[in-house]
Amino acid sequence: MTVLVVLLLAAGLFFHAVAALGVLRLPDFYTRLHAVSKAETLGMLFTLAAIIVWIGPSLTAVKVALVGVFVFMATPTSAHAIGRAALRTGLKPWRRRGGSP
Amino acid sequence: MRIEDAFLGVTVALLGLVLVYLFRVAVGPTVFDRILGVSALGTTTTIILLLVGVLYDRIELFVDLSLAYALLSFVGALAAARYFEQTGDR
């Protein structure tokens, strides 16, 4: 059981690190938005799964799962809103230097 | 090497990631990068709150805190995105 918690925590941390790397390295707003909203959601699910396994089946575990479900729905929604807002104000997506489509 | 050390390590690592998002908020060329940084910051802080709750063995308190924080950061990100949709990118 403890090994499972450590594994879940490691997986969650891995995806959070991927999200942070995406925020730093990617060239353009849209690519960063794409990277963060996906990796963040998955990392969050793993970390919350670790917490739920650790505190055992109880009302609090249901609450933690509810937090997970809410953030699982909230992050893509806000990413969509931000992406649409950027597109509407005319933020051009990044093109490779060769200009090939 | 108790299990709490693993939770503590993950919490400290997430705090490091918060700095990455703050860097993006500071540097971000467009205003939408900043909104993205703040919303990702909100999600990460929600998870840090939960982990701190596990560390302090008072998970009931911190679950409610993190739920409220997730709601607030979500609404804030939506409001900022909607606002900057009209006024555009100065």
User: Do the chains contact at A67 and B37, CB–CB below 8 Å?
Assistant: no
pLDDT attached to residue A37: 87
Neighbours of A94 (CB within 10 A): 11
Closest chain A residue by Cα to residue B20: A20
Global pTM value: 0.87
Distance from CA of B78 to the nearest CA of A (A): 6
pLDDT attached to residue B73: 92
What value of ipTM does the predicted structure carry?
0.85
Give the Cα separation of A89 and A87 in Å (integer).
Answer: 6
pLDDT tens for each residue of B59-87: 889 999 999 999 999 999 999 988 988 87
